[in-house]
Amino acid sequence: MYENRIRDRLVEHGEVLFKAPHKFAHFTKHDAADCLLNDLAHHPHAFVLASIMDQQIKAERAWLIPFLLKEKLGSFTMDTLLNQSEPDVRRLMTEPECLHRFVDRMAGFFFRAVQRIAHQYNSDASLIWNDRPSSATVVYRFLEFDGVGPKIASMAANILARDFKVEFSDYFSIDISADVHVRRVFGRLGLTSPDASVDQLIFRARGLHPEFPGLMDFPAWEIGRNWCRPKNPECGKCYMNDLCRLPTNGTANQLVQRTGASRSAQSEIPTSSAAGSRR
């Protein structure tokens, strides 16, 4: 079936990334900020806190927040963070500039995440993932943080597995992160209807590749980001061109309208993609 060929190609590209040796991961286009996020050995909480901030703003901006706070505080150790009260965190995130669109809510999430890492994980956030847990356990541990829903939890687990090569005992529970790019590409490829809900997309990915649904996440996101733009997709450059329904479909313009413009209005569904992170 043609959808299996599409799945196989997405999985093939996902596996190349998944099996590639560990490389420095780019999240923000800012070297020092990315160094902090890559430092899982000494600052694993930076990765967790950045993941939590990745909601309803551009991913690059969200993942920059730990570094910007480090600049203000002079350090990003857990001891330093634990010395900040919730009003301190709010002030750090609002003065002189607002670091997040929903800064009040995010300051609370940030503060409570620091408390949780301190009390639940003895100030070592790597305990969330370093005991070769099942993927469901990792996702569940992220879900226990205030403000984290399935999309962020799955995204964080996916980045740990794919980019940081953290070993889990299985990958069944790492879902696709249904951001605007992934939704648009799945719709245009004909894997879902153009108007599929987040839940439909997630279960579609589970059905297509149950052993690791999230493996298709980065390839779909990358296609959406590079070629499959809301308007004027560059199908000639896209490696799905020979399988995709859109370039040969007589109602292409209609499909672009349905899967592009209408999608952009939904781009701010609960969480955005981590730029860097898929990244």
Options 233, 272, 276, 278; binder of ligand SF4; rule CB under 6 A: 233
- Residue 165 is encoded by which pair of tokens? 């090569």
Burial 131-145 (b: 16+ CB within 10 A, else e): eebebebbbebbeeb
Residue numbers 33-72 binding ligand SF4 by CB under 6 A: none
- Which range binds ligand SF4 by CB under 6 A, 3-11, 47-55, 115-123, 233-241? 233-241
By beta-carbon proximity to ligand SF4, the closer residue of 50 and 244 is: 244
- Residue 69 is encoded by which pair of tokens? 């706070």
- Residue 95 is encoded by which pair of tokens? 């003065």
158 and 164 Cβ atoms separated by less than 8 Å: no
Options 6, 156, 182, 228; binder of ligand SF4; rule CB under 6 A: 228
Regarding 249 and contact with ligand SF4 (CB under 6 A), the answer is no
Residue carrying the six token digits 């669109």: 101
CA angle centred on 216, ends 211 and 219, rounded to 5°: 155
Cβ 237 to ligand SF4 shortest distance, Å: 8
Options 240, 260, 263, 272; binder of ligand SF4; rule CB under 6 A: 240
- Identity of the amino acid at 86: E
Compute how many residues bind ligand SF4; rule: CB under 6 A: 14
- Residue 122: burial class (beta carbons within 10 Å; 0-12, 13-18, 19+): exposed
Q: How far, in Å, are 35, 128, 271 from residue 75 at the CA level? A: 14, 22, 28
Cβ 265 to ligand SF4 shortest distance, Å: 19
Regarding 190 and contact with ligand SF4 (CB under 6 A), the answer is no
Distance CA 152, CA 127 (A): 18
Residue carrying the six token digits 């923000």: 28
Regarding 241 and contact with ligand SF4 (CB under 6 A), the answer is yes
Cβ 105 to ligand SF4 shortest distance, Å: 34
Regarding 191 and contact with ligand SF4 (CB under 6 A), the answer is no
Regarding 203 and contact with ligand SF4 (CB under 6 A), the answer is no
- Packing angle of the helix pair 103-120, 44-53 (nearest 10 deg): 150
Secondary structure, 3-state, 120-141: HCCCCHHHHCCCCCCHHHHHHH
By beta-carbon proximity to ligand SF4, the closer residue of 90 and 188 is: 188
Regarding 6 and contact with ligand SF4 (CB under 6 A), the answer is no
Options 235, 258, 262, 266; binder of ligand SF4; rule CB under 6 A: 235
Regarding 188 and contact with ligand SF4 (CB under 6 A), the answer is yes
DSSP SS3 for 261: helix
Regarding 106 and contact with ligand SF4 (CB under 6 A), the answer is no
Regarding 182 and contact with ligand SF4 (CB under 6 A), the answer is no
- Which range binds ligand SF4 by CB under 6 A, 31-39, 76-84, 174-182, 222-230? 222-230
The candidate with the shortest Cα–Cα distance to 39, out of 13, 70, 15, is 70
Options 106, 156, 238, 274; binder of ligand SF4; rule CB under 6 A: 238
By beta-carbon proximity to ligand SF4, the closer residue of 25 and 255 is: 255
Q: Which residues in this chain contact ligand SF4 in the complex, by CB under 6 A?
A: 185, 188-189, 223, 227-228, 233, 235, 238, 240-241, 244, 246-247
